[in-house]
Amino acid sequence: MAGRGPYTRPAKRTLDAAVIKMMVDRRVNKAIADYEASRQHSETSGNNNGSNSSNGKGCSFESFLNCHPHKFKGTEGAVGMLRWMEKVESVFAMCDCAEENRVKYATGTLEGPALTWWNTHVQTLGLDGANSMSWADFTRLLQEEYCPRDEIRKLEAEFWVHKMVGSEIEQYCTRFHELCKLCPSMVTPEYKKIEQFISGLPEQIQSMVTASDLTTIQPLIRLAHKLTIQAERKWEPSQHQSHQPQQQQRSAPARAFTATQPDDKGKGVYQGKYPLCNRCSYHHFGQCERYRCLKCGRHGHMAKDCRSKFPVNNNNPNHHQNNNNN
C-alpha cells in the first residue's frame, strides 16, 4: 500500500430533526392520499354495480321464480289477492328486484281469469306501457278489480263484529291483520286499530289489556297472547279431577272465555247438575222413569200396554224412591 496515506473513515452524515419530520410527513400524506383514492374508487365501483342491478341485470326472471312466488288466478277472493301481493313483495325484497321490473315479473305469475284481465290492459296500454307501470298503480288496479266497493263494505261489516271465539287467539289475530290490510280506513290512525283489536277480545282479557294503557298494537297483541295462555292454564284440569269425563275436561278452557258467547241465563235453560236424558229430554240420574210401567214396575212400556197379571207393590220403598226422583 505504498504511496497511500493512512485510511480514514468518512464522517457520518447527520440529518437535522426538521428534515426527518418533513420526510415523515411527506410519506404519511402520500399514504393518506392513496387510501382516499382507493376508497373513492371502491365507492364508484359499488354505485356502478348498483345501477346495473337497478337496470335489471342483478335480478333475472329466473331468480325471481326461484324464490317461489305464489300464483294468482283471480278466483281466490280479496284475502287470496292480499296474500298473493304479500308473497310477491317479499320475493321482491329477497331477490332485490328492480322497480321497473316488478310489474313485469309479478304478472308472469298470473293465471286463468287474472291473466285474461291483465292482457286486456296490455292491449290498451301496450306491452311496454303496461310493464313500465309502477307497482303502486298496479296494486291499485288489482284491488279495484278483485276487491270492489261492495266487497269492501262486507268486509267492513265483518270487521265491526269480529270477535275472538273461545281461546283461539291465533285465528283472531290472523283475521284481524287481514281485515286491517283490506279495510285501512277503519284502523287509521293507530289508536283506531288498538280500539278495534281490544273490542273483539273477551271481557276477562279486555279489561286487563285496557288497563295496560299501551299505545302501539304489537305489544298489545303480545299481551293478549300471554293473558290467553294464562287463562287456558288456569282452566286445565288438575290431577285430582282426572276422574271427570273427558268431554267435561276439554270444555273447561272454553268456559274461561264466555264473553263472546250468548247469555242464556234466565231464558228457561236448565242450570242444575243432573244430566240430560236422551229418552225423555229431562234431567235426572238413573234409568228413565218416564217409560216405566206403573203396573208391573218394569221399564220399556207403559201401563196401558202391560201384559203382566201381577200389579206392582206400591209399598215397595224403591218404588217411592224412584217416584221422588221424577
| 248 vs 230: CA distance, rounded Å | 20
CB-based contact 299:293 (threshold 8 Å): yes
Please give the pLDDT value at position 230: 86
Are 78 and 147 a contacting pair, CB within 8 Å?
yes
110: which 3 cell numbers? 298470473
> Cβ contacts of residue 182 below 8 Å, gap of 6+?
78, 79, 82, 147, 152, 155
| pLDDT, position 4 | 57
Residue (of 138, 141, 143, 142) closest to 183 by Cα position: 143
pLDDT at 267 over 60: no
Q: 274 pLDDT exceeds 50?
A: yes
d(CA 2, CA 80): 111
Coil, helix or strand for 259?
A: coil
Residue 325 confidence (pLDDT) above 50: no
- This prediction has a pTM of 0.46
143 exposure class (CB count in 10 Å sphere: 0-12, 13-18, 19+): middle
> CA 54 → CA 63, 95, 215, distances in Å?
15, 12, 39
Q: What is the pLDDT of residue 256?
A: 47
The residues pairing with 292 across neighbouring beta strands, listed in sequence order, are 299
pLDDT, position 107: 92
Taking the C-alpha atoms of residue 59 and residue 64, their distance in angstroms, rounded to an integer, is: 7
Mean pLDDT of 86-93: 90
Instruction: Output the pLDDT for position 271.
Output: 63
Buried b (16+ CB within 10 A) or exposed e, 207-230: ebbeeeebeebeebbeebeebbee
Higher per-residue confidence, 274 vs 195: 195
pLDDT digits (tens, 9 = 90+) for 152-173: 888 888 889 999 988 889 999 9
How far is 107 from 85, CA to CA, in rounded Å? 11
